[in-house]
Homo-oligomer: A and B are copies of this chain.
Amino acid sequence: MKKARDGKPTINDVARIAGVSKKTVSRVINRSPLLNEATREKVEAVIAELGYVPNPQARALALRRNFLIGLIHDNPNAQMVLGVQEGILSAIRDTEFALVVRPVNRRSLDMLDDVRAFLEQQRLFGVMLLPPISENDALAELCEDLGVTYVRMGSVRLDEDEHMVASNDREAVANAVGYLVERGHRRIGFVAGPEGFRSAAERALGYRDALEQAGLALDPAIMAEGSYTFETGIAAGEKLLSASTPPSAIFASNDEMAAGVLHAARTQGLSVPEDLSIVGFDDTAIAAHIWPPLTTVRWPIQAMAKAAAIKLIDPAQARKQPSHFLSDLIERASVRPA
């Protein structure tokens, strides 16, 4: 009689033992204000005694909403994804929400159908979209259509504040390049990210801004494009360093390419930072673990992810969350005055 069969205690067990209706137990769980203090205590005692925990599936069914938030990403950068996961977790800690992850393949043709099937099947409360797929407007529309609230992370304002959290890559790069200018560099090379990535475009704009600000001319001979990989970084480095007037400093649009540039410089007998200064972007593990440690731009991934998650789950707090975040320049040892 103490409790049903084998399973966990249910609201019915609590109600029976406490001698109240299940609705009253429900009120206790949900902290309903119109409830006698004595009753509340009595029920809470039974809950504690039984170790009762409400069944989330039943709750989800009755409330017609669940407590799962999804993270959809297609990301080459493990550190970033994990940083986001931790940011989200810090927002949902001590709530009943849980985090469901769903890696997808950006290049796959049926990526959209894939995501649609996922959303329809799981009926998540909301989802977070990570770059680069967060830049895909069709995906955001899909969420809208399916009635799934979403928040996009990006390197620039992608959507209404309510649906977005962004770093300001353009400004961050402009600052980083400006930092090189301040140290006397006049010939600063640039390694761009792949075409089609919004972040790559923003970073390129930041580079232009800084040169313009410093009164320096753009020179295609010391600009190259890579695809955010170590190998393309090497190739870009080789190109830039073999220019007739090679640069004294190079800004690479991410750390992996910066590591590639470093590698290319070393291969050509140059030492860093004596002969060449290098600045990267992202502050991944690589940045701190290569030699010399890389001066780079760190964007506050965790804080952004946390803010995004709060926007998703807590309407009361949502408006108070910032939508824009500033990145910091992390000074290490790969830069020296010209």
**Could you tell me how many residues of chain A have their Cβ less than 8 Å away from some Cβ of chain B?**
45
**Which residue on B lies nearest to A6, using beta carbons?**
B147
For residue A86, CB closer than 8 A to chain B, the reply is: yes
Closest-by-CB residue of B relative to A258 is B289
Bound Cα distance A53, B100 (Å): 19
**Cα distance A263–B123 in the bound complex, in angstroms:** 50
On whether the beta carbons of A289 and B291 are closer than 8 Å, the reply is no
What's the Cα separation between A288 and B291 when bound, in Å?
A: 14
Q: Which chain B residue shows the least CB distance to A58?
A: B61
- Shortest beta-carbon distance from A318 to chain B in Å: 23
Does A242 touch B at the CB level, under 8 Å? Answer: no
1/0 per residue, CB under 8 A from B, across A70-105: the answer is 000000001101100110010000001011111100
Set B55, B58, B82, B122: member contacting A98, Cβ < 8 A? B122
Q: Which residues of A (167-198) have their CB < 8 Å from a CB of B?
A: none
Task: Establish whether residues B100 and A99, one from each chain, have CB atoms under 8 Å apart when the complex forms.
Answer: yes
Chain B residue with the shortest CB-CB distance to A99: B101
Interface string of A106-139 (1 = CB under 8 A from B): 0000000000001011110000000000000000
Q: In the complex, A120→B53 CA distance in Å?
A: 7
User: Do A256 and B60 contact each other (CB < 8 Å), given the known contacts A55-B123, A82-B82, A89-B103?
Assistant: no
Q: Is A290 an interface residue when CB atoms closer than 8 A count as contact?
A: yes
Known contacts A81-B78, A121-B56: A98-B102 contact under CB 8 Å: yes
**Chain A binding surface SS class:** helix
The yes or no answer to A7 lying at the interface (CB within 8 A) is yes
Q: Nearest B residue to A59 by beta-carbon distance?
A: B57
Check A27 for interface membership: any CB of B closer than 8 A. no
Q: Shortest beta-carbon distance, A216 to chain B, in Å?
A: 30
With A78-B81, A289-B286 already in contact, the answer to whether A103 and B121 are too (CB < 8 A) is no
Distance to closest chain B CB from A151 (angstroms): 18
User: A122 vs B40: C-alpha distance in the bound complex, in angstroms?
Assistant: 24
- Interface status of A42 (Cβ within 8 A of chain B): no
User: Contacts of A286 on B, CB cut-off 8 Å?
Assistant: 285-286, 289
Q: A61-B61, A286-B286 are in contact. Are A122 and B56 (CB under 8 A)?
A: yes
In the complex, chain B residues whose CB is within 8 Å of the CB of A86: 103
Asked if A266 lies at the interface with its beta carbon under 8 angstroms from chain B, I say yes
> Is A64 an interface residue when CB atoms closer than 8 A count as contact?
yes
Q: What B residues does A123 contact at CB under 8 A?
A: 55-57
Q: Which residue of B lies closest to A90 (CB)?
A: B103
Instruction: Tell me the smallest distance from the CB of A229 to a CB of chain B, in Å.
Output: 10
Some 17 contacts from A to B, beta carbons below 8 A apart, are A8-B120, A57-B60, A57-B123, A61-B61, A78-B81, A78-B285, A82-B82, A86-B103, A89-B103, A96-B121, A98-B122, A100-B101, A101-B101, A259-B289, A266-B291, A284-B285, A285-B286
Can you add 7 more A-B contacts, CB < 8 Å, to A68-B98, A259-B289? A51-B120, A55-B123, A78-B78, A85-B103, A98-B102, A256-B285, A286-B289
